[in-house]
């Protein structure tokens, strides 16, 4: 009985460009060369991504006398998305991260305490820390 010839070589050759790209990407993610010639750690890249993802859900800035939390948010993040205006404004996205209206919202905090009014009505003061946190809606 005759068996079909194996076609391993073409498959292997097809994988070489992907392997080269992956190796180049991992090497490019390191923050400098290693003097011992060791390969960079992939886990360092994953940890950096985790840090970026963590920061997407929180955004802080300092309060300023005479300015609302909404005015300052729009200065610090011109791309922030808001529905409504003034005291009726509702923040839907910060730093490109849109809250899922079915499960999330951007909560407003002043010095680590949840604000009792909306961003358009909250007059800030010098020295206050204004923080927005992406939070889950409690059902």
Domains and CATH numbers, the chain: 57-136 (2.170.130.30)
Tell me the per-residue pLDDT of 99-136, one tens digit each, with 9 for 90 and over.
Answer: 999 999 999 999 999 999 999 999 999 999 999 999 99
CB 132 within 8 A of CB 120: no
60 conformational bin, left if phi > 0, alpha if psi -120 to 50, beta if neither? beta
What pTM did the predictor assign? 0.60
Query: Quick check: 93 pLDDT over 80?
Result: yes
Query: For 31-41, what is the mean pLDDT?
Result: 44
The whole-angstrom separation of Cα 107 and Cα 136 is: 9
The whole-angstrom separation of Cα 7 and Cα 46 is: 35
């Amino acid at each position: 009985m005759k068996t079909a010839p194996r076609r391993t070589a073409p498959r292997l050759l097809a994988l070489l460009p992907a392997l080269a790209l992956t190796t180049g990407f991992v090497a490019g993610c390191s923050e400098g060369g290693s003097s011992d010639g060791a390969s960079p750690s992939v886990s360092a890249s994953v940890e950096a991504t985790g840090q970026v993802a963590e920061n997407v859900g929180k955004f802080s800035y300092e309060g300023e006398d005479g300015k609302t939390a909404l005015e300052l948010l729009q200065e610090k993040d011109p791309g922030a998305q808001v529905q409504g205006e003034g005291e009726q404004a509702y923040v839907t996205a910060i730093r490109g991260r849109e809250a899922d209206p079915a499960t999330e919202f951007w909560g407003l905090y002043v010095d680590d305490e949840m604000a009792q009014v909306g961003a358009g009505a909250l007059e800030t003061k010098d020295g206050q820390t204004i923080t927005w946190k992406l939070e889950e809606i409690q059902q």
